[in-house]
Amino acid sequence: MAKPSSADGRTRSSVQIFIVVGLCCFFYILGAWQRSGFGKGDSIALEITKTNTECNIVPNLSFDSHHGGEVNEFDEADSKPKVFEPCAARYTDYTPCQDQKRAMTFPRENMVYRERHCPPEEEKLQCMIPAPKGYVTPFPWPKSRDYVPYANAPYKSLTVEKAIQNWIQYEGNVFKFPGGGTQFPQGADKYIDQIASVIPITNGTVRTALDTGCGVASWGAYLWSRNVIAMSFAPRDNHEAQVQFALERGVPAIVGVLGSIKLPYPSRAFDMAHCSRCLIPWGANNGIYMMEVDRVLRPGGYWVLSGPPINWKANYKSWLRPKEELEEEQRKIEETAKQLCWEKRSEKAEMAIWQKVVDSESCQRRKDDSSVEFCESSDADDVWYKKMEACITPTPKVTGGNLKPFPSRLYAIPPRIASGLVPGVSSETYQDDNKKWKKHVKAYKKTNRLLDSGRYRNIMDMNAGLGSFAAAIHSSKLWVMNVVPTIAEANTLGVIYERGLIGIYHDWYGFIICRSYFVYVSS
Higher pLDDT, 514 or 88: 88
Give me the pLDDT at residue 75, please. Answer: 61
Q: Given this model, what pLDDT does residue 512 score? A: 41
Tell me what the mean pLDDT of segment 31-46 comes to.
Answer: 35
Dihedral sign of CA atoms 98, 100, 102, 108 in order: positive
Q: Where are the alpha helices (DSSP H) in 147-241?
A: 157-161, 188-196, 218-223
Is residue 38 over pLDDT 50? no
Which of 4, 24, 7 lies closest to 15, judged by CA? 4
In degrees and rounded to multiples of 5, residue 274 shows phi and psi of -145, 140
> Phi and psi (nearest 5°) for 81?
-70, 150
What pLDDT does 108 receive? 92
With 0-12 / 13-18 / 19 or more C-beta atoms within 10 angstroms meaning exposed / middle / buried, residue 160 is: exposed
CA angle 300, 303, 306 (to 5 degrees): 155
pLDDT one-digit tens code per residue, 353-371? 999 999 877 777 676 777 8
d(CA 519, CA 460): 5
Q: What backbone torsions phi and psi does residue 175 show, to the nearest 5 degrees?
A: -95, 140
Q: How confident is the model at residue 59 (pLDDT cuts 50, 70, 90)?
A: very low
pLDDT at site 361: 74
Structural domains in the chain?
95-123 (no CATH), 179-395 (3.40.50.150), 400-522 (3.40.50)
Cα separation, 506 vs 523, in Å, equals 16
Q: Is residue 306 scored above 60 in pLDDT?
A: yes
Taken as a whole, the chain contains a residue count of 523
> Do residues 114 and 260 lie in contact, with contact meaning Cβ atoms separated by under 8 Å?
no
pLDDT above 60 for 3: no
Which pLDDT belongs to residue 77? 59
pLDDT for 199: 97
Task: Express each pLDDT in 310-351 by its tens digit.
Answer: 999 988 888 889 999 999 999 999 999 999 999 999 999 999
| Angstrom distances, CA of residue 153 to CA of 150, 167, 186, 499, 515 | 6, 15, 25, 33, 11
Distance CA(223)–CA(461), nearest Å, equals 23
pTM of the full predicted structure?
0.83
Least reliable range by pLDDT among 18-32, 98-112, 251-265, 404-418: 18-32
pLDDT of amino acid 191:
97
Q: Give the per-residue pLDDT at 9.
A: 41
Report the alpha-carbon distance of residue 338 to residue 331 in Å, rounded.
Answer: 11
Confidence of residue 74 (pLDDT cuts 50, 70, 90): low
Average pLDDT over residues 133-146: 93
Residue of 436 and 82 predicted with greater confidence: 436
pLDDT for residue 487 is more than 80: yes
State pLDDT tens for residues 196-218: 999 999 999 999 999 999 999 99
Q: What is the dihedral of CA 111, 112, 114, 118, to 10 degrees?
A: 170
Q: Would the pLDDT of 76 be above 80?
A: no
Task: Identify residue 519 by its one-letter amino acid code.
Answer: V
8 A C-beta contact, residue 46 and residue 30: yes
Across 18-27, 247-256, 374-383, 485-494, least confident range: 18-27
- pLDDT at residue number 498: 98
